[in-house]
Amino acid sequence: MIKFCNRIYYNLYKFGLLIDKLIFSPINNLFFKNKENRDEIIGAVRRVLEDKQRGTNITIAGVCFYGLVYLFLLGIINSILILFKEIGITITINVHYKYLLLTLGIISYVCSYFIIDHKDKYLEYFDEFEMLAKDEKIKWGWISFVMIILLFGFGFGSLLFRLTL
């Protein structure tokens, strides 16, 4: 499971690099077109974006991954609450739902931290994933994409379904 989660995290990071390459790099090239130290400035910007320990793209990928874990936990809790309501067990949690959401945020942070960030374990997985063949990377990119869509659907769908009951 840890390796699977790190694959999703890796693909979130790579997706951020792709977005940067497609959208922001042309803007940077246009903005610094006539500067004499253009290559130096663009190189510094790329280093800030691509740094795997403190870079912008790894930070955004981490926030996205933490959010996915939060949505997964939210979906599980809402599914349990829906199940309880369907079998007739009434739990009055609406008043304290904000505390439940905050608690889920803390739990998802701790889980995500130990899955990917603790002692920078993700760097070892990233090195391993960089060595994969191109078709293997594409396969895992699609698997990650489908999992992200499913987690969004599960988290938000359970919330919407629970609110309509």
Residue 92 is predicted with a pLDDT of: 63
Least confident of 65-69, 118-122, 137-141: 118-122
**Residue 79: which residues within 8 A CB-CB, separation 6 or more?**
158
Distance CA 143, CA 151 (A): 12
Residue 148 is predicted with a pLDDT of: 93
Least confident of 4-8, 87-91, 109-113: 87-91
Mean pLDDT to the nearest integer, 151-157: 90
- Determine contact, residues 12/143, Cβ cutoff 8 Å: no
Q: Is 20 helix (H, G, I), strand (E, B) or coil?
A: helix
Mean pLDDT to the nearest integer, 90-114: 81
pLDDT in tens, 24-62: 777 777 777 766 777 777 777 778 777 777 888 888 888
Range of the domain at 83: 2-164
**Residue 159: which residues within 8 A CB-CB, separation 6 or more?**
74, 75, 78
- Band of the pLDDT at 94, cuts 50, 70, 90? low
**Residue 19: which residues within 8 A CB-CB, separation 6 or more?**
none
Mean pLDDT to the nearest integer, 82-98: 72
pTM score, two decimals? Answer: 0.80
Query: Based on the structure, what is the number of domains in the chain?
Result: 1
Residue type, 54: R
